[in-house]
């Protein structure tokens, strides 16, 4: 019997790894779940654990609001003793927790499994891109979501141990969509109707840590609302809210009547908001995938994406934060035919990953 240590740290990781954790729990191997605490709002994280019906972590740490280098170093120090007994360390995606777990396992001489391997934006100014590349170079088991991701790895001379398994986000959506419809009343609470609003998320450092870009984005949000003739529902990230105040943009945001800022939501509420929106505006990778699954068109407020599959099927379009480009993208996506096929798998990704891990550990 082997020993698996899975390390997560952010809410997107909770969502995407919950089905994987459950599948690994079902194996005969010892499975230890570690939460690094990278998202310092641990109360909100508990809501996501509850919504995903995910067991409590075996080890819970708190990074609080540390800068990125300290997040990586502190996670490695916290988790070292736990990972020292592992036969396989599992990490997900592109966060500071991901790269910390991969580097720690490598230093300890342990095998690394990387879920969501091989996705690339080809923009190394994004810390997430660097984290992905490092994790993939250190991993011996690489769970790629699509053939495009596998090809990205091949071009980087990473070919051994690569498995195309789909994306576990589909597993999570298939398991929770009906539950969200039953349990979440967020549309009623906000007075929203199906197709009667745009949904916005906006939190990437390259967007919200720059005064000019954040100011431009506010104008783009206002323009999008005018083009669509609909309000923009905005579950605002703490980082974005903080910078609106720090950059003197809070009054401008408050004056935008079409911009309905609400606190961050739980997973089930977010599913309902995504599924019933006329359009999604986002700089998040996860919402590009989830909107694609729900056949809700997306406008990505970035200059690149690590989800090119969504572009090729016209489920998504890149617009940056320029108001003119965003307006054109909103017009296009509101009129797009919602007949595309989901490119991220059939909801069996977690079982595939568990089966591969079981075979490797023996």
C-alpha distances out from residue 193 to 188, 213, 297, Å: 8, 31, 17
- Residue 340 CB-density burial (10 A; 0-12 exposed, 13-18 middle, 19+ buried): middle
Contact 30, 24 (CB under 8 A): no
Torsion of CA 208, 214, 217, 222, to 10 degrees: 120
Q: Is 72 helix (H, G, I), strand (E, B) or coil?
A: helix
Length of the chain equals 362
Nearest to 143, CA basis, from 296, 334, 348: 348
Cβ-based neighbours of 315, under 8 Å, separated by 6 or more: 291, 292, 295, 297, 298, 336, 340
Catalytic pick from 31, 35, 78, 203? 203
Q: Has 203 been annotated as catalytic?
A: yes
**d(C-alpha 326, C-alpha 282), whole Å:** 11
Cβ-based neighbour number of residue 324 at 10 Å:
11
Give the active site residues: 203
């Amino acid at each position: 019997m082997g020993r698996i240590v899975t390390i997560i740290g952010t809410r997107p990781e909770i969502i995407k790894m919950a089905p994987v954790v459950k599948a690994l729990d079902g194996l005969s191997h010892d499975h230890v779940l570690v939460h690094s605490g990278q998202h310092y709002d641990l109360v909100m994280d508990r809501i996501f654990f509850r919504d995903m019906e995910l067991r409590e972590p075996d080890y819970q740490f708190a990074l609080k609001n540390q800068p990125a280098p300290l997040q990586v170093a502190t996670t490695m120090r916290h988790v070292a003793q736990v990972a020292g007994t592992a036969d396989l360390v599992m990490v997900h995606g592109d966060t500071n927790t991901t790269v910390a777990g991969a580097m720690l396992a490598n230093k300890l001489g342990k095998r690394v499994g990387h879920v969501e391997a091989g996705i690339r934006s080809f923009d190394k100014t994004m810390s997430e891109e660097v984290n992905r590349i490092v994790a993939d170079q250190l991993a011996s088991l690489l769970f790629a979501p699509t053939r495009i991701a596998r090809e990205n790895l091949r071009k980087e001379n990473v070919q051994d141990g690569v498995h195309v398994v789909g994306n576990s986000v589909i597993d999570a959506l298939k398991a929770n969509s009906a539950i969200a419809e039953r349990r979440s009343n967020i549309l009623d609470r906000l007075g929203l109707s199906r197709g009667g609003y745009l949904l916005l998320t906006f939190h990437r450092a390259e967007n919200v840590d720059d005064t000019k870009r954040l100011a431009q984005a506010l104008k783009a949000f206002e323009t999008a609302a005018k083009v669509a003739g609909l309000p923009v529902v905005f579950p605002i990230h703490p980082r974005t809210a903080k910078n609106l105040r720090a950059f003197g943009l809070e009054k401008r945001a408050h004056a935008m009547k079409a911009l309905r800022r609400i606190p961050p939501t739980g997973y089930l509420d977010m599913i309902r908001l995504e599924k019933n929106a006329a359009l999604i505006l986002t700089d998040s990778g996860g919402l590009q995938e989830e909107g694609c699954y729900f056949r809700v068109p997306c406008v990505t407020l970035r200059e690149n994406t690590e989800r090119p599959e969504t572009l090729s099927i016209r489920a998504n379009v890149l617009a940056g934060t320029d108001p003119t480009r965003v307006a054109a993208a909103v017009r296009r996506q509101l009129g797009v035919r919602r007949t595309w096929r989901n490119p991220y798998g059939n909801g069996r990704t977690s079982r595939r990953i568990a089966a591969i891990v079981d075979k490797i550990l023996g």
